Structure 1
Amino acid sequence: MHIEAMTASEVAWHERALCAQTGAEFFFPEPGSSVREAKRICELCESRSACLEYALANDERFGVWGGLSEKERLHLRRTEGDR
């Protein structure tokens, strides 16, 4: 995530996010690796909904954002597009 390109409110949620306090390897694992640990951390994070909103609004295509994997966010976008 490029902090310099984020607005003040985006920086605020990111600074409070648990992912900012852990290693990026959980949230951007090697292809085929488990995202289970990242999702577990996201479940406990108060910034989860803001993170997911950011990822969807900015079409983040890699990593776990707001507790969802790339495939899950793609499915969510497609499902919401059908409405």
Structure 2
Amino acid sequence: MDPVSIKNLIESGLEDARADVRGDDGVHFEADVVCAAFAGKLPLARHRLVYATLGERMGGEIHALSLNTWTPEEARERGLDVAGDS
């Protein structure tokens, strides 16, 4: 598994999501995910949404995935680049 594949799975599984995925060893990854669907959800619920896009790969091909999850508004407040912003 590689960061680009994980990014594509997350972005195709969560409508309007933007993901930045990093990881050099092929099994341990970090991801920053921005998605409007996170609004009103606690961190655990947000993480479950992301994990659902990865399915059985979690715990298998992906041994560990550290997540930061934000709504677009939260990302803007933190000065993060949000897709579609100019």
With normalisation by structure 2, the TM-score equals 0.29
- Larger % of helix: which? 1
**Structure showing the higher strand proportion among its residues:** 2
TM-score, normalised with respect to structure 1: 0.30
